[in-house]
Protein backbone atom coordinates (compact mmCIF):
# COMPACT_ATOMS: atom_id res chain seq x y z
CA UNK A 1 0.00 0.00 0.00
CA UNK A 2 1.51 3.31 -1.06
CA UNK A 3 0.38 6.47 0.72
CA UNK A 4 1.81 9.96 0.94
CA UNK A 5 3.00 10.61 4.48
CA UNK A 6 2.94 13.82 6.47
CA UNK A 7 6.45 12.95 7.59
CA UNK A 8 6.91 15.86 10.00
CA UNK A 9 3.65 15.14 11.86
CA UNK A 10 4.39 11.43 11.92
CA UNK A 11 7.78 12.16 13.49
CA UNK A 12 6.44 14.63 16.07
CA UNK A 13 3.11 13.02 17.09
CA UNK A 14 3.66 9.30 16.55
CA UNK A 15 7.09 8.77 18.05
CA UNK A 16 5.58 6.01 20.20
CA UNK A 17 5.60 3.73 17.12
CA UNK A 18 9.39 3.47 16.81
CA UNK A 19 9.79 3.68 20.59
CA UNK A 20 7.94 0.40 21.00
CA UNK A 21 10.24 -1.09 18.38
CA UNK A 22 13.17 -0.93 20.78
CA UNK A 23 11.77 -4.00 22.54
CA UNK A 24 11.72 -5.86 19.21
CA UNK A 25 15.41 -5.13 18.68
CA UNK A 26 16.10 -7.12 21.85
CA UNK A 27 14.92 -10.28 20.06
CA UNK A 28 18.04 -10.19 17.88
CA UNK A 29 20.60 -12.71 19.09
CA UNK A 30 23.65 -10.51 18.70
CA UNK A 31 26.27 -13.26 18.98
CA UNK A 32 26.91 -13.74 15.26
CA UNK A 33 25.18 -10.64 13.90
CA UNK A 34 27.12 -7.74 12.42
CA UNK A 35 24.96 -6.60 9.49
CA UNK A 36 21.25 -5.69 9.77
CA UNK A 37 18.61 -4.45 7.36
CA UNK A 38 15.86 -2.24 8.80
CA UNK A 39 12.94 -3.03 6.46
CA UNK A 40 10.38 -0.21 6.38
CA UNK A 41 12.71 2.08 8.29
CA UNK A 42 10.50 5.19 8.05
CA UNK A 43 12.24 8.23 9.54
CA UNK A 44 15.23 6.14 10.60
CA UNK A 45 14.92 6.38 14.37
CA UNK A 46 15.13 2.62 14.86
CA UNK A 47 17.82 2.33 12.19
CA UNK A 48 19.83 4.69 14.37
CA UNK A 49 19.09 2.56 17.44
CA UNK A 50 20.43 -0.49 15.59
CA UNK A 51 23.49 1.51 14.51
CA UNK A 52 24.12 2.58 18.09
CA UNK A 53 24.19 -1.08 19.16
CA UNK A 54 27.19 -1.54 16.88
CA UNK A 55 25.51 -3.12 13.86
CA UNK A 56 26.38 -2.25 10.29
CA UNK A 57 22.88 -1.22 9.25
CA UNK A 58 20.98 -0.10 6.17
CA UNK A 59 17.41 1.18 6.00
CA UNK A 60 14.85 0.56 3.26
CA UNK A 61 11.54 2.36 2.88
CA UNK A 62 9.14 3.18 0.05
CA UNK A 63 8.35 6.69 1.34
CA UNK A 64 10.54 9.44 -0.02
CA UNK A 65 9.06 11.87 2.52
CA UNK A 66 10.13 9.75 5.49
CA UNK A 67 13.51 8.96 3.96
CA UNK A 68 14.21 12.67 3.57
CA UNK A 69 13.95 13.00 7.36
CA UNK A 70 15.98 9.83 7.92
CA UNK A 71 18.84 11.07 5.73
CA UNK A 72 18.76 14.54 7.27
CA UNK A 73 18.83 13.25 10.86
CA UNK A 74 21.22 10.34 10.31
CA UNK A 75 23.61 11.23 7.47
CA UNK A 76 26.08 8.50 8.47
CA UNK A 77 23.58 5.69 7.70
CA UNK A 78 22.69 4.39 4.25
CA UNK A 79 19.00 4.65 3.37
CA UNK A 80 17.53 3.13 0.21
CA UNK A 81 14.15 3.88 -1.35
CA UNK A 82 12.60 0.56 -2.37
CA UNK A 83 9.40 -1.46 -2.09
CA UNK A 84 9.42 -4.14 0.62
CA UNK A 85 7.80 -6.58 -1.81
CA UNK A 86 10.41 -6.08 -4.53
CA UNK A 87 13.95 -5.40 -3.37
CA UNK A 88 17.38 -7.00 -3.72
CA UNK A 89 20.44 -6.30 -1.58
CA UNK A 90 23.93 -6.34 -3.14
CA UNK A 91 24.96 -8.89 -0.50
CA UNK A 92 23.06 -10.77 2.22
CA UNK A 93 22.86 -9.62 5.83
CA UNK A 94 22.88 -11.41 9.19
CA UNK A 95 19.48 -10.11 10.29
CA UNK A 96 16.40 -8.36 8.94
CA UNK A 97 14.46 -6.21 11.40
CA UNK A 98 11.07 -4.58 10.88
CA UNK A 99 8.64 -2.66 13.07
CA UNK A 100 5.04 -1.59 12.33
CA UNK A 101 5.30 -2.23 8.60
CA UNK A 102 3.85 -5.52 7.40
CA UNK A 103 0.19 -4.66 8.12
CA UNK A 104 0.52 -2.04 5.35
CA UNK A 105 1.30 -4.76 2.80
CA UNK A 106 -1.68 -6.43 1.11
CA UNK A 107 -2.21 -10.07 2.01
CA UNK A 108 -1.63 -11.08 -1.61
CA UNK A 109 1.84 -9.50 -1.55
CA UNK A 110 3.08 -10.93 1.75
CA UNK A 111 4.66 -13.95 0.06
CA UNK A 112 6.61 -11.71 -2.32
CA UNK A 113 7.86 -9.67 0.62
CA UNK A 114 8.92 -12.80 2.52
CA UNK A 115 10.75 -14.09 -0.56
CA UNK A 116 12.71 -10.82 -0.70
CA UNK A 117 13.58 -11.11 3.00
CA UNK A 118 14.66 -14.73 2.54
CA UNK A 119 17.00 -13.75 -0.31
CA UNK A 120 18.37 -10.85 1.75
CA UNK A 121 19.48 -13.12 4.61
CA UNK A 122 22.51 -15.31 5.05
CA UNK A 123 22.00 -18.95 6.04
CA UNK A 124 20.90 -19.00 9.71
CA UNK A 125 20.07 -15.31 9.38
CA UNK A 126 17.51 -13.89 11.81
CA UNK A 127 14.20 -12.29 10.85
CA UNK A 128 12.75 -10.24 13.72
CA UNK A 129 9.61 -8.14 13.41
CA UNK A 130 6.42 -6.72 14.90
CA UNK A 131 3.27 -5.37 13.26
CA UNK A 132 -0.49 -5.17 13.69
CA UNK A 133 -1.97 -8.58 14.49
CA UNK A 134 -5.43 -10.11 14.54
CA UNK A 135 -7.88 -7.74 16.24
CA UNK A 136 -5.69 -4.66 15.85
CA UNK A 137 -7.77 -1.48 16.22
CA UNK A 138 -10.90 -3.61 16.02
CA UNK A 139 -13.12 -1.00 17.71
CA UNK A 140 -11.94 1.77 15.39
CA UNK A 141 -12.39 -0.21 12.19
CA UNK A 142 -15.77 -1.63 13.19
CA UNK A 143 -17.07 1.86 13.94
CA UNK A 144 -15.71 3.25 10.67
CA UNK A 145 -17.40 0.39 8.84
CA UNK A 146 -20.74 1.29 10.47
CA UNK A 147 -20.38 4.97 9.62
CA UNK A 148 -19.42 4.20 6.03
CA UNK A 149 -22.55 2.07 5.69
CA UNK A 150 -24.74 4.83 7.13
CA UNK A 151 -23.39 7.23 4.51
CA UNK A 152 -23.90 4.76 1.67
CA UNK A 153 -20.25 3.68 1.27
CA UNK A 154 -18.48 0.36 1.68
CA UNK A 155 -15.57 0.35 4.10
CA UNK A 156 -12.63 -1.55 2.65
CA UNK A 157 -10.20 -2.65 5.33
CA UNK A 158 -6.87 -1.05 4.36
CA UNK A 159 -4.69 -3.30 6.50
CA UNK A 160 -3.67 -6.93 6.92
CA UNK A 161 -3.91 -8.22 10.50
CA UNK A 162 -3.14 -11.98 10.62
CA UNK A 163 -3.23 -14.53 13.42
CA UNK A 164 -0.02 -16.18 14.62
CA UNK A 165 -1.06 -19.41 12.92
CA UNK A 166 -1.76 -17.71 9.61
CA UNK A 167 1.53 -15.87 9.53
CA UNK A 168 3.56 -18.85 10.72
CA UNK A 169 2.32 -20.78 7.69
CA UNK A 170 3.47 -17.99 5.36
CA UNK A 171 6.88 -17.93 7.01
CA UNK A 172 7.29 -21.68 6.76
CA UNK A 173 6.20 -21.69 3.13
CA UNK A 174 8.92 -19.10 2.44
CA UNK A 175 11.56 -21.37 4.02
CA UNK A 176 11.76 -19.92 7.53
CA UNK A 177 11.74 -21.74 10.86
CA UNK A 178 9.59 -19.90 13.41
CA UNK A 179 11.38 -19.52 16.73
CA UNK A 180 9.14 -17.12 18.66
CA UNK A 181 5.62 -15.73 18.28
CA UNK A 182 3.26 -13.74 20.47
CA UNK A 183 0.01 -11.82 19.95
CA UNK A 184 -0.76 -9.22 22.62
CA UNK A 185 -2.98 -6.23 23.39
CA UNK A 186 -1.28 -2.84 23.66
CA UNK A 187 -3.74 0.04 24.23
CA UNK A 188 -1.75 3.08 23.17
CA UNK A 189 -2.06 6.74 24.15
CA UNK A 190 -2.62 9.20 21.31
CA UNK A 191 -1.40 12.79 21.30
CA UNK A 192 -3.72 15.75 21.87
CA UNK A 193 -7.40 16.49 22.46
CA UNK A 194 -8.14 15.40 18.88
CA UNK A 195 -5.88 12.37 19.14
CA UNK A 196 -8.21 9.82 17.58
CA UNK A 197 -9.38 12.11 14.78
CA UNK A 198 -5.76 12.95 13.96
CA UNK A 199 -4.86 9.25 14.05
CA UNK A 200 -7.60 8.43 11.53
CA UNK A 201 -6.42 11.25 9.28
CA UNK A 202 -2.84 9.97 9.45
CA UNK A 203 -3.36 6.24 9.03
CA UNK A 204 -6.78 5.52 7.49
CA UNK A 205 -6.47 7.22 4.12
CA UNK A 206 -7.38 4.82 1.33
CA UNK A 207 -10.98 4.03 2.42
CA UNK A 208 -11.79 7.75 2.01
CA UNK A 209 -10.28 8.06 -1.47
CA UNK A 210 -13.70 8.41 -3.15
CA UNK A 211 -15.30 10.53 -0.41
CA UNK A 212 -15.59 14.32 -0.66
CA UNK A 213 -13.60 16.22 1.97
CA UNK A 214 -16.62 17.68 3.75
CA UNK A 215 -18.35 14.31 3.93
CA UNK A 216 -15.15 12.64 5.11
CA UNK A 217 -14.87 15.08 8.01
CA UNK A 218 -18.48 14.47 9.03
CA UNK A 219 -17.92 10.70 8.89
CA UNK A 220 -14.76 10.88 10.98
CA UNK A 221 -16.41 13.15 13.54
CA UNK A 222 -19.30 10.73 13.89
CA UNK A 223 -17.01 7.73 14.30
CA UNK A 224 -14.94 9.56 16.92
CA UNK A 225 -18.09 10.52 18.84
CA UNK A 226 -19.27 6.91 18.88
CA UNK A 227 -15.87 5.69 20.08
CA UNK A 228 -15.54 8.16 22.93
CA UNK A 229 -16.97 5.88 25.62
CA UNK A 230 -14.51 3.11 24.74
CA UNK A 231 -11.35 4.96 23.76
CA UNK A 232 -11.36 8.28 25.65
CA UNK A 233 -10.18 7.82 29.23
CA UNK A 234 -9.31 10.56 31.75
CA UNK A 235 -8.80 13.19 29.08
CA UNK A 236 -6.70 10.98 26.79
CA UNK A 237 -7.53 9.18 23.55
CA UNK A 238 -6.29 5.62 23.06
CA UNK A 239 -6.05 3.30 20.08
CA UNK A 240 -6.86 -0.36 20.66
CA UNK A 241 -3.65 -1.82 19.27
CA UNK A 242 -2.98 -5.56 19.10
CA UNK A 243 0.52 -6.54 18.01
CA UNK A 244 2.06 -9.69 16.58
CA UNK A 245 5.75 -10.11 17.35
CA UNK A 246 7.80 -12.91 15.81
CA UNK A 247 11.29 -14.25 15.23
CA UNK A 248 12.22 -16.68 12.46
CA UNK A 249 15.45 -18.10 11.07
CA UNK A 250 16.53 -18.93 7.51
CA UNK A 251 17.71 -22.54 7.64
CA UNK A 252 18.68 -23.37 4.06
Residue 40 lies in a domain: yes
Residue 211 lies in a domain: no
Q: ∠ CA(217), CA(223), CA(227), 5° rounding?
A: 140
pLDDT at 7: 44
pLDDT at 198: 94
Extract the residue ranges of the chain whose pLDDT is less than 50. 1, 5, 7, 10, 13-14
Neighbouring C-beta atoms of residue 228, cutoff 10 Å = 11
Number of domains in the chain: 1
* DSSP 3-state of 88: coil
Residue 221 lies in a domain: no
Residue 80 lies in a domain: yes
Neighbouring C-beta atoms of residue 177, cutoff 10 Å = 14
Q: Which domain holds residue 246?
A: 7-137+159-190+241-250
- Predicted TM-score (pTM) of the model is 0.91
Residue 36 lies in a domain: yes
CATH code assigned at 39: 3.40.50.150
CA distance 220 to 38: 33
pLDDT at 240: 97
Q: Radius of gyration of the chain from Cα atoms?
A: 18
CA distance 97 to 126: 8
pLDDT at 252: 76
CA distance 187 to 184: 10
The pLDDT tens digits for 216-231 are 999 999 999 999 999 9
Residue 236 lies in a domain: no
The pLDDT tens digits for 12-68 are 544 555 677 789 999 999 888 999 999 999 999 999 999 999 999 999 999 999 999
Residue 39 lies in a domain: yes
Report the run of H or E that residue 94 belongs to, with start and end.
strand 93-99
Find, among 105, 157, 156, 158, the residue nearest to 129 by Cα. 105
Report CA torsion sign: 25, 17, 66, 120. positive
Amino acid sequence: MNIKWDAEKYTSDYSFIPQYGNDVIELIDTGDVSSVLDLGCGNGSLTKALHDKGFSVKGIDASGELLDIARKNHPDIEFIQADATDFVLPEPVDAVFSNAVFHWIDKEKQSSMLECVYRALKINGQFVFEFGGYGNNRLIHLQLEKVFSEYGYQYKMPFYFPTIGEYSVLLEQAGFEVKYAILFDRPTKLVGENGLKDWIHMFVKTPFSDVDDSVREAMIDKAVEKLQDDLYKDGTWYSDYVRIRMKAVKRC
